[in-house]
Structure 1
Amino acid sequence: MSTSDHSAAPASFAVSVPEVPDADLEMEELDPEQVLSGAPVVTGKVLWESPDGKQLRGIWQITPGVVTDTEADELFVVVSGRATIEVEGGATMEVGSGSACVLREGDRTTWTVHETLRKAYHISLP
């Protein structure tokens, strides 16, 4: 039987459900070249970042519109809202409150946001 060394792992933590839907978020830049339709506004808040900056956990929100992105390795859960995410050469996903989704680093996506979408995420950077 072996034991695991968790000293390098991030500390466990919980975010209460009321904090995620109602958290105040900060404005984030959205490259105008990414906007295909509408005037979406992006806000977010990093809740935790690893010392090396390669792991991020936080909240992200986007208002209705259509945008493109190149993804990082990400796991997220939709807290509220609704969107269609098209992965170039891959799946088209309909996501809404309670949906869990995994995106891979380098995935080129088109997000059609039907209702302001808020998600809690974990991103792993190379």
Structure 2
Amino acid sequence: MADVEVFPLAQVAVPHSRPAPADVVAGKPTLGTAPITTLGDTGVEVGLWEMTTGAVRDVEVDEVFVVLEGAATISVEGAAPIAIKAGDLVRLTAGTATVWEVTAPLRKLYVA
């Protein structure tokens, strides 16, 4: 590995697929992940994640991400929904059950 690496994020293609039917709450969303690199031997992954419009259930891992494009609402049972949009930095805690309602196709850069 070089001392400095550049990853042109706009050129990274993220392959999409349909989530499991049991995870779909609304619409016909597709989603995908494109791992880009890891941080040394820590096992920490950096990558891109995308989702088209619709709503899905998920159980989170420890993650920090920046929304690059799009908009969504993240709901957690017992808490007010959180609206996110391009430019937002978000922290998720492992084991949190969420529902993602994407209103504009979402692209995020994650560290997990």
Short-chain TM bin? 0.7 to 0.9
Q: How many residues align?
A: 111
Following TM superposition, by how much is the alpha carbon of 1:24 offset from its aligned partner in structure 2, in angstroms? 1.1
Q: Which amino acid aligns with 2:91?
A: V
Following TM superposition, by how much is the alpha carbon of 1:53 offset from its aligned partner in structure 2, in angstroms? 7.8
Larger deviation: 108-117 or 82-91? 82-91
Following TM superposition, by how much is the alpha carbon of 1:27 offset from its aligned partner in structure 2, in angstroms? 2.7
Identity of aligned residues (%): 33
- Label 1:13 to 1:73 Cα distance change in 2 as closer, same or farther (>3 A): farther
Following TM superposition, by how much is the alpha carbon of 1:51 offset from its aligned partner in structure 2, in angstroms? 7.1
Q: How does the TM-score come out when normalised to structure 1?
A: 0.76
- Label 1:86 to 1:49 Cα distance change in 2 as closer, same or farther (>3 A): same
Following TM superposition, by how much is the alpha carbon of 1:46 offset from its aligned partner in structure 2, in angstroms? 0.3
**Where in structure 2 are there 5+ consecutive unaligned residues?**
none
Please state if 1:101 is matched with 2:90. Answer: yes
RMSD over equivalenced CA pairs, Å: 2.4
Contact 1:77/1:119 (8 A) holds in 2: yes
Please state if 1:88 is matched with 2:77. Answer: yes
**Ranges of 4+ aligned residues in structure 1 off by more than 4 Å:** 11-16, 50-53
Q: Which amino acid aligns with 1:80?
A: E
Following TM superposition, by how much is the alpha carbon of 1:105 offset from its aligned partner in structure 2, in angstroms? 0.3
SS in 1 for 2:16: strand
- Label 1:33 to 1:53 Cα distance change in 2 as closer, same or farther (>3 A): farther
- Label 1:15 to 1:42 Cα distance change in 2 as closer, same or farther (>3 A): farther
**Where in structure 1 are there 5+ consecutive unaligned residues?**
1-10
For the residues of structure 2 that align with 1:91 and 1:12, how far apart are their CA atoms?
43
1:20-69 Cα deviation digits (max 9, x unpaired): 24421123462211101100011221001367684211000000001010
Which is greater in Rg? 1
